[in-house]
A and B are shown apart, each in its own frame.
Chain A
């Protein structure tokens, strides 16, 4: 009887998709991954919603708005193991540079006062379609429980591959020295 493959979900929250690029950077080993798992909700197969329980969820990016929080909680609910990938998920990353500046000042600079701003309305966008920004950018583990962290900007392709193979083989993720990097 063919064993059902475990499912893998991925998402990019407040990130730049660089970590997903790094995932593609495992080159032809993506075929090995495809043999080991089926992709569920992920930009890789463009599934917008979860179709069921997932063994592993990979989270790129931290939370900068309420939509990020919703998606992250949804991932926690559907995934047995949740992994933060990249510096944005593990520490906030570049988006968190705004954490040292009050939110109102950030919005004013971006939409009203910045040197290159053209905004005849003179207003900060507040359409209800636009997700509400959080006061700060939060690393994923400050919002939900995260089981493993793979730092890096982005994490090296080898790091992502090694961790995936270990997790899918029910082994502990023990990365060699060269595969833990913060840059």
Chain B
């Protein structure tokens, strides 16, 4: 039988497998650690810092930290909740998020995260950056106003589609998602069937002519908070 570790998250003892990342072990045990850049099936990236937990008292990102036997993890505590709220609020003021007409509204992970944390308005002043839209492709739209630089499309295109259509250019506040072409998305080999189009957590990378098909009230996060699909008494808990 393969070896298992025991770790504690907020006082709950769970089993973990060597090689697992902390977030995977928590998921299996039905413990939700908030995340935006991480997505099951994609390489861990560690970009958004939303999954930051305290591992044996030190901050670390749960999506990139490998489990170790005897780890003591703090996740759902006031200081971290506050820290996560600040990250979410910063993401809202750093982009241009007009949820009232956004195709992704109701299904958007950033918006859902704000709902989960009960955020009614960001505490920071809005920046209103100038961001470009790329509508050149017949079936795909890039709206950088809503991009949160999570890198999911970069990883999915590179590792699943085998195409490397997307990547980042620029640094700091000027960092943005770019396409692997001299100018436009239409000049790449991007296709509407690419997995990269299914992973964007927000309304930044969209399939054209698919918007607003689910009525309000039946969208992913209308009634239940993001994370509730994970929260349960997972089978890997030890009582």
Residues of chain A whose beta carbon lies under 8 Å from any beta carbon of chain B? 84, 87, 90-94, 96-97, 99-100, 136, 139, 141-142, 146, 148-151, 153, 175, 177-178, 180-183
Residue B75 CB within 8 A of the other chain: no
Nearest to B228 among chain A residues (CB) is: A177
- Taking a contact as CB atoms under 8 Å apart, the answer to whether B105 and A183 are in contact is yes
When chains A and B are docked, how far (Å) is the Cα of A146 from the Cα of B131?
29
When chains A and B are docked, how far (Å) is the Cα of A100 from the Cα of B96?
9
- Taking a contact as CB atoms under 8 Å apart, the answer to whether B120 and A148 are in contact is yes
Residue B218 CB within 8 A of the other chain: no
Q: Which of B114, B119, B126, B130 contacts A139 (CB under 8 A)? A: B126
Which chain A residues lie closer than 8 Å to B223 at the CB level? 177-178
When chains A and B are docked, how far (Å) is the Cα of A151 from the Cα of B119?
9
Q: A96-B128, A178-B223 are in contact. Are A153 and B100 (CB under 8 A)?
A: yes
- Taking a contact as CB atoms under 8 Å apart, the answer to whether A150 and B120 are in contact is yes
Sample of 26 A–B contacts (CB below 8 Å): A91-B92, A91-B122, A94-B101, A96-B126, A96-B128, A99-B96, A100-B129, A100-B131, A136-B128, A139-B121, A139-B126, A146-B121, A149-B120, A177-B116, A177-B223, A177-B225, A180-B115, A180-B118, A180-B120, A181-B115, A182-B114, A182-B115, A183-B99, A183-B101, A183-B106, A183-B216
CB distance from A17 to the nearest CB of B (A): 15
Q: A87-B99, A182-B105, A183-B99 are in contact. Are A141 and B128 (CB under 8 A)?
A: no
Nearest to B223 among chain A residues (CB) is: A178
- Taking a contact as CB atoms under 8 Å apart, the answer to whether B121 and A84 are in contact is yes
Which chain B residues lie closer than 8 Å to A90 at the CB level? 120-121
When chains A and B are docked, how far (Å) is the Cα of A97 from the Cα of B225?
29
Residue B125 CB within 8 A of the other chain: yes
Most B C-beta atoms less than 10 A away, residue of A90, A146, A148, A177: A177
Nearest to A176 among chain B residues (CB) is: B118
Which chain A residues lie closer than 8 Å to B230 at the CB level? none
When chains A and B are docked, how far (Å) is the Cα of A139 from the Cα of B122?
10
CB distance from A22 to the nearest CB of B (A): 13
CB distance from A83 to the nearest CB of B (A): 10
CB distance from B65 to the nearest CB of A (A): 30
When chains A and B are docked, how far (Å) is the Cα of A139 from the Cα of B125?
9
Nearest to A87 among chain B residues (CB) is: B100
Which chain B residues lie closer than 8 Å to A181 at the CB level? 115
Q: How large is the interface on B (under 10, 10 to 19, 20 to 34, 35 or more residues)?
A: 20 to 34
A interface footprint on B91-135 (CB within 8 Å = 1, 0 otherwise)? 010001111111001100001001110111110011011110000
Q: Which of B120, B125, B129 contacts A151 (CB under 8 A)? A: B120
Q: A96-B128, A151-B120, A183-B106 are in contact. Are A178 and B222 (CB under 8 A)?
A: yes
Q: A178-B222, A182-B114, A183-B99 are in contact. Are A141 and B121 (CB under 8 A)?
A: yes
Top 10 closest A-B pairs, CB basis?
A153-B100, A182-B99, A149-B120, A149-B121, A99-B128, A90-B121, A183-B105, A183-B99, A183-B100, A100-B130
Which chain B residues lie closer than 8 Å to A94 at the CB level? 98, 100-101
In chain B between 61 and 76, which residues have their CB closer than 8 angstroms to a CB of chain A? Answer: none
Contacts A93-B100, A151-B120 known; 11 new A-B pairs at CB < 8 A: A84-B121, A91-B122, A94-B100, A96-B98, A151-B121, A178-B222, A178-B223, A181-B115, A182-B105, A182-B114, A183-B105
Nearest to A155 among chain B residues (CB) is: B120
Which chain B residues lie closer than 8 Å to A91 at the CB level? 92, 97, 121-122, 126
When chains A and B are docked, how far (Å) is the Cα of A136 from the Cα of B128?
9
When chains A and B are docked, how far (Å) is the Cα of A182 from the Cα of B112?
10
CB distance from B203 to the nearest CB of A (A): 11
- Taking a contact as CB atoms under 8 Å apart, the answer to whether B96 and A142 are in contact is no
When chains A and B are docked, how far (Å) is the Cα of A96 from the Cα of B92?
14
